[in-house]
Amino acid sequence: MLAFLKKEKGSIRNLFNTSGIQYRELKIAEQFQNGLSETEAIKILSANGKLIKRPFLINEKFGLVGFKIETWAKRFKT
């Protein structure tokens, strides 16, 4: 996960499946508002795979999370 963030210079929030039931039940958005750290967020993601936005791909050159056809097409353009 940290490799993804470093490659894409992204926010840890981008890794969360914000549409999921678990996200709402655990009140993750509120936790971020109350200062949830990156380390704490990674622990939460590691403990509950349903919180991770899918699809999730990381390789030696880039990382992708979530499915936006334009983004995936651009990355895999031949």
Query: What number is the average pLDDT over the span 61-72?
Result: 88
Q: Which residues contact 55 (CB under 8 A, 6 or more apart)?
A: 64, 65, 66, 67
Determine if the pTM surpasses 0.75: yes
Please list the residues that pair with 16 across neighbouring strands.
52
pLDDT tens sequence across 11-66 = 888 889 999 999 999 999 999 999 999 899 999 999 999 999 999 888 888 888 88
Residue 57 near residue 63 (C-beta atoms within 8 A): yes
pLDDT at 58: 84
pLDDT at 64: 86
Q: Domains in the chain, please, with CATH?
A: 2-75 (3.40.30.10)
Listed in order, strand segments (DSSP E) in 15-76 are 56-58, 63-65
